Amino acid sequence: MAKLERCLVGGTFDRFHNGHKALLNTALDVAELVEVWITNDAMSANKSPFLESFEDRRESILAWAGERITTHELEDSMGPAPFREDCDSIICTPETLGNCQLINEIRLKNGLMPLEIIEAPHTLDEVGGIISSTRIRAGIIDTEGKLWLNESQKSQTYIFHSGLDSELKKPSGELFLGPEDVPEVAMSAAMENIAPGGLVAVGDVSVATLLDIGVVPDIALVDGMTKRKELVEKVDLSGFDILLNASNPAGEITPSLIDSISAALHNDQTTCIEVDGEEDLAPMIIHLLAPLGTNVVYGQPGKGVVLRITDLDAKEHCRRLLSCFEVRN
């Protein structure tokens, strides 16, 4: 069977993933040339504040694509498909089939032959969900469809390995400097640089400082300690909607801590997790489970405040670190 000549593909193509690759490979299987029309920044602005820029999305496709694929800027929901005479096909997923059918109706009215519609099935992740940019932005899966933390991993206890000590002591994010006795200086600077996502504060001093400057974080983790010493004055937690408890000995990451972080991330009320033990390693789990764009702040003793915004790099970094821990079932 002879190949079609030119196939059109339209979409946002945020966080270029295995589902996108499967869609484009299907198009390449049926057509000699494939035109990828990528929604521009103006069209994408209302979809999510965490979408990559048009140029970044285009570059991700070009880095993967061969010479049979070209990329173009899409300025409306139909693009050139209703009037192009040099195209003979269009590819879609099940939810965009209706738009392709509408395009063909318009083409017929314009005196053009309808495009052959190729409907590509969804690509599924390791637990049977659809690999989609939405699920990636939600922090559930990576671009290959792997869970950042699966159910088996959530049930394990992770034991700190001394070989990681120097790496974990380095600020994992942007460090905002400020005097230790006036933590509001560094914290206020960090707050001026946060993303539009949720705010998670780890550590009693960080939580207390935010509350002192009038900011109630969406999620807080406290253990009643600072610099391994018990606080004389405990943080006032009365401003939080929900209080959770987690048991997490020093140098460990327990299922109790993982479950409490997961529960806090899945409700829309301000939540404080009171940790019996230590919460120092909690940012690793927060980044692995949190949506992209989540702001995670914690104190850097003697220096100031670290802000790390959850992105794919942060998740990959935490996945790698966690793989170096010893595991106890």
Domain of 70: which CATH number?
3.40.50.620
Torsions phi, psi for 108 (to 5 deg): -60, -40
Q: Could you tell me if 199 and 297 are in contact, meaning their C-beta atoms sit under 8 angstroms apart?
A: yes
**86 and 176 in one domain?**
no
From the number of C-beta atoms within 10 Å of its C-beta (0-12, 13-18, 19+), residue 57 rates as: buried
pLDDT band at 329 (very low <50, low <70, confident <90, very high): confident
Cα distances (angstroms) measured from residue 21 to each of 4, 12, 76, 214: 19, 13, 23, 46
Q: Return the axis-axis angle of helices 184-191 and 204-212, rounded to nearest 10°.
A: 80
Are 104 and 251 within one domain? no
Last residue within a domain, chosen from 70, 102, 137: 137
Question: Distance (Å, rounded) from C-alpha 87 to C-alpha 33?
Answer: 9
Residue 49 lies in a domain: yes
pLDDT at 229 over 70: no
Answer yes or no: is 142 within a domain: no
Whether 165 and 124 map to the same domain: the answer is: no
- On whether residue 144 sits in a domain, the answer given is no
pLDDT by residue (tens digit) across 70-99? Answer: 999 999 989 999 999 999 999 999 999 999
Domain-embedded: residue 63: yes
DSSP state of 8: E
Backbone angles phi, psi at 28, to 5 degrees: -65, -30
Decide if 224 contacts 200 (C-beta within 8 A): no
112 lies in the same domain as 160:
no
The pLDDT tens digits for 39-67 are 999 998 888 888 999 999 999 999 999 99
Cα 176 to Cα 36, 57, 206, 242: the distances in Å are 42, 31, 13, 29
Residue range of the domain that includes 264: 151-328
CA 18 to chain centre: 16
Distance in angstroms (rounded) separating the CA atoms of residues 51 and 196 = 12
pLDDT tens column, 143-181: 999 999 999 999 999 999 877 877 777 778 999 999 988
Task: Compute the average pLDDT of residues 275-302.
Answer: 96
307 lies in some domain: yes
Same domain, 60 and 206: no
Q: Kindly state whether residue 145 falls inside one of the protein's structural domains.
A: no
Supply the pLDDT for residue 163: 78
Is the model's pTM score more than 0.95?
Answer: no
Is 228 found in the same domain as 133?
no
**Which pLDDT band, with edges at 50, 70 and 90, does 184 fall under?**
very high
Indicate whether 208 pLDDT > 60: yes
Could you tell me if 192 and 245 lie in one domain? yes
Same domain, 55 and 185: no
- Number of independent structural domains in the chain: 2
Asked if residue 35 and residue 61 are part of one domain, the reply reads yes
Q: In terms of domains, do 155 and 132 share one?
A: no
- Do residues 30 and 171 share a domain? no
